[in-house]
Amino acid sequence: MHRSVQIDGETLTIEDVVEVAYERAKVSIPEPVKAKVNRSRRVLEELLEKGETIYGVNTGFGALSNTIIPKEKVRQLQVNLIRSHAAGVGKPLDKKVVRAAMLLRANTLAKGYSGVRLKVLETLVEMLNRGVHPVIPAKGSVGASGDLAPLSHMALVLMGEGEAEYKGEVLSGREAMEKAGIKPVQLDFKEGIALNNGTQLMTAIAALNIHRAENLIKAAEIAAALSMEALQGVIDALDEKIHKARPHHGQALTAKNLMKLVTGSKLVRRGEEAAAYTGRPHDAYSIRCTPQVLGAARDAIAYARKIVEVEMNSATDNPLVFPDEGVCLSGGNFHGQPISLAMDMLGIAITMVGNLSERRIARLLDENLNNGLPAFLIPPQAEKGLNSGLMTAQYTAAALASENKILAHPACVDSIPTSANFEDFVSMGTTAAQKADQILENTEYIIAIELLCAAQAIDIRGPEKLGKGTRKAYIIIRKAAPPVREDKPLNKDIENIKQAIQNGALTEKVW
């Protein structure tokens, strides 16, 4: 067990989400948060005692909101809501995504605007800490009113219904809760809609995507630096004077990182030397413009982080109770448009990263473009023609890059009406987050292929000529995948390097 993560509805970070999702850090509720939650509940109770009509508390939902629910049926209303909205389909979400969504749902309740009893929040946190993970189908959310279907599957288990994974076994929700020693909650007024109304699934995926993207961009810089050395590239393009003249933060940082990686290299050249050697004083765009492209991606990821961390610490259910003013107001904070736009931007940015990498892969393998390296990096001792070298690794990269281009089509510009046209504009935020996740997976493979090809080229050039940073990277790559001395299946080598990217082994040791 790692450090404890406290939820207060205000200060949760992406790093906290990663700790809970991946490392099963314990979650705790500070005493002041408990007081806020209790106060919110008391105010809601007082409003109902005054006879106020409150959406989702004593009315129907969506297009049925004009139906008043009798006092004696308001509890059944909440139970029916969760049961009827648990309509997701498809494969179950990964456990780490489920844990992240549970944490974010708890953090939203901790803000003290949801009007639930404290026991609802405490039970959700207890499920996290004891490892009761609801089985949540991956598909079924249009992103407004938030992630209704997925969060309803989560809430079912809190009620002792549905299905959950506990200690590696899928059980009924009731059995999983019993084995974990947790008493299910009988929902009271407002509590069903407080659990399933919000953006927690899309935001959970988004938070994990950002963590993954920030690691990937560092790996992409390592791959670019190795390729630059393998192709005997021109380092003039990394000069800080160029990047101060166009002061985008990401661009300058990427240029600085690349220069740091190739410091001490005997393979890169200055412009005058390159002009004498090749007749050209600079490189193709896929090498020369790496700071501009990866830097733009860095800036897009930074934007997405800012949006997601705001959303993680927001009240996104409806209606919201404002204890200081003594009112309960209905609005639209459940709408996932901020996350949808941020995840589409992230997906587009990572698609660019993959496209750039694929172009360098093609360059490394083409004997007409790779500054004297053998065709397809067939090792000198192997017979050309009889051996194909790394030829088909580029096919795979091209396939993944092309798939990314399709996936990069923005979901945020789509909408389809629901609830008899009452909920007539939706965000598709969960679709955007899930697409970005697939783009990240594909691009990790593309970068792995570039690292495989660059390392093969470096074997021919001479690893002893590498820069300080790239030398470290080369050693890690060669531990994951030995040099290709004759034709062999490449899939395991690619998979091993991809794992080193994804688990941070590459970036942590190089940086």
Catalytic residue list: 55
DSSP letter for 326, please. T
Helix (H) / strand (E) element for 297: namely: helix 290-312
Preceding amide of 145 cis, omega within 30: yes
The CA-CA-CA angle for residues 26, 500, 503, to 5°, reads 15
Question: What is the C-alpha separation between 67 and 48, in angstroms, rounded?
Answer: 16
- The first and second tokens of residue 423, run together, are 């909920």
- The first and second tokens of residue 241, run together, are 């004077």
3-state secondary structure labels for all residues of 156-219: HHHCCCCEEEECCEEEEHHHHHHHHCCCCCCCCCCHHHHHHCECHHHHHHHHHHHHHHHHHHHH
Q: How many residues does the chain have?
A: 511
Question: What is the C-alpha separation between 364 and 389, in angstroms, rounded?
Answer: 12
Question: What is the C-alpha separation between 186 and 170, in angstroms, rounded?
Answer: 22
Buried b / exposed e along 146-161 (16+ C-beta atoms within 10 A): bbbbbbbbbbbbbbbb
Identify the residue whose tokens are 């020693």.
Answer: 181
